[in-house]
Structure 1
Amino acid sequence: MEESSSPIRWPVVGALSLVLLAGSAAAHPLTAPSAPDDDSVTVRQPHRRPVFQLDIRNSIINHQLVTVPGLKLGIEWRGRLRTGLGVYLLSNGIPSRQPIPSELPAATTSELRLRYVAGYGEYVVLGNPRWEIASQLQIGVGKTYARYALPDGSLVRSPKRIIWLVEPSLTAQMRVYRWLALGTGVGWRQPVFINRFTQRELNGPVFYGRVKLSLGDVYKVMRGRQRLFTQQGLRRADW
């Protein structure tokens, strides 16, 4: 009896084992779907990617709205930390309240000029593939000078002075496409290691808008590996 029952028992046990293994594989698949290694959408990503920004900074200096356009090139690390360099140029001179040198005519007017380069670091505090909030710190060094307009129409420049700038800010960004993001921010500009007149004129609130291009995604679009206006990875259903 034992010999005749043995051939029946093992196929049943084997069938049960196959069912259990199939159920286990369905509940715990051997390979779970994941984002590709070259995906640049997720906030946390396993690689670095270059980013380019048009950074338009505005400030109120001597009760006048002043625009300071800049260009930034940097590296984004794992979607959380960004570092790089920016170049800024004061777009227009601003009336200065600094004393006019005594050797110049009394009717002389003056305006302030500023140029500087800055290193920046930015950390994403909160965000998802579509939007984010980040803190940023810029430390810049450049030159500032006053340009004097004499009554006869001639121009005279003061000696250039080295100036250091510290600009902490809080930024917000929304990703429109995989390769394009728009952002804005508010902060404070604080000159250091400069005379008190220049420091008083250039310190103040900063508010800005920016356009950011992900150069890696731009390259993929140019090579035809990615659609220009794709929303893949940016929709909530894709997170």
Structure 2
Amino acid sequence: MRARSFFAVFLLLAGALAARPVRADSPPDSSFVRERHRRPVFQIDQRFSIINGKVAGINGLRGGIEWRGRWRAGLGFYRLSGGLRTRQALPEGLPPGTRDEIRFRYVAGYGEYVFIGNRRWELSAPLQVGAGFYYTRFFLPDGNTERSSRRVIYLVEPSVAAHYRIFRWVGIGVGTGYRQVFASGQQPKDQISGYIFFARAKLFLGDLYKVVRGRERLLDRDWVVEEDFRSEK
């Protein structure tokens, strides 16, 4: 029920914002500045999720292309950080005192649409669809390790996000959403599906290149005011 409720709210929000009527004689929206060219974007995408009743970290990196300041698409790689115990019973044959931990990794393609914002801040709706594998690693009392067979999983992650651009070439962001996991065979007994929360450090590689080449100042905080003012002329 929680997953279906989140999907319903997400679709209603996306439909309402995307279907806003635009009059032909209306002036351009000065609250958002469109970029003429495509540019590469790189993100450190640290995610958190409640799995088996505990908060777990999911480390991620993703890169893609942004165009017209509104659309983004690319590819991300994610892995669950260690230390999270599984809910499954220990397989027969393992000695008492064996410790087990969940492991999963996945690759996700993403698309993102920016609803509102300007050069400094924005509100967007990212959607990720991915596939990966899930298994359990066992730490035996004698120091050896074993793992279970891998199971293929598929993921869908709708979310909402906001970010603030500190300088021309770097920004920070936060967001929340829901991860729905599907399996090709037996469903995992561990609670992998659930709400997600994430924090991002975002690099604008094209603008960073200009800084490296000496065309722009590294810590210039006045560029937004100047460029937004010029864009309204």
With the shorter chain as reference, the TM-score category is: 0.7 to 0.9
Corresponding residue for residue 191 of structure 2: 201
Q: Deviations over 1:172-224 (max 9, x none)?
A: 011111111110000111111253334x5211111010011100100101111
Distance 2:43 2:94 in 1: 42
Partner-residue secondary structure (3-state), 2:191: helix
Higher relative contact order (CA 8 A, sep 6+): 2
1:231 aligns with 2:221: yes
Q: Normalization by structure 2: what TM-score? A: 0.79
In the TM superposition, residue 45 of structure 1 has moved relative to its aligned partner by 1.3
Q: Normalization by structure 1: what TM-score? A: 0.77
What does residue range 49-68 of structure 1 map to in structure 2 within 5 Å?
Answer: 49-68=39-58
In the TM superposition, residue 231 of structure 1 has moved relative to its aligned partner by 2.6
Larger Rg: 1
In the TM superposition, residue 111 of structure 1 has moved relative to its aligned partner by 1.1
Q: Deviations over 1:60-118 (max 9, x none)?
A: 11122211111111000110000001111222141000122223335433211011111
- 1:136–1:168 contact (8 Å) kept in structure 2: yes
Distance 1:131 1:224 in 2: 25
Corresponding residue for residue 90 of structure 2: 100
Corresponding residue for residue 176 of structure 1: 166
Segments ≥4 residues shifted beyond 2 Å = 102-109, 149-154, 193-198, 235-239
Q: Structure 2: which 5+ runs fail to align?
A: 1-31
Distance 1:185 1:148 in 2: 33
Matched AA of 2:98: T
Percent identical pairs in the alignment equals 50
Q: Give the count of matched residue pairs.
A: 197
Matched AA of 1:172: A
1:140 aligns with 2:139: no
Distance 2:182 2:201 in 1: 29
Matched AA of 1:196: Q
- 1:119–1:138 contact (8 Å) kept in structure 2: yes
Matched AA of 2:204: S
Distance 2:97 2:213 in 1: 61
Corresponding residue for residue 87 of structure 1: 77
Distance 1:113 1:219 in 2: 37
Farther-moved stretch of structure 1 (64-73 vs 75-84): 64-73
Distance 1:223 1:107 in 2: 58
Partner-residue secondary structure (3-state), 1:196: coil
Q: Structure 1: which 5+ runs fail to align?
A: 1-41
Distance 2:218 2:188 in 1: 50
1:122 aligns with 2:112: yes
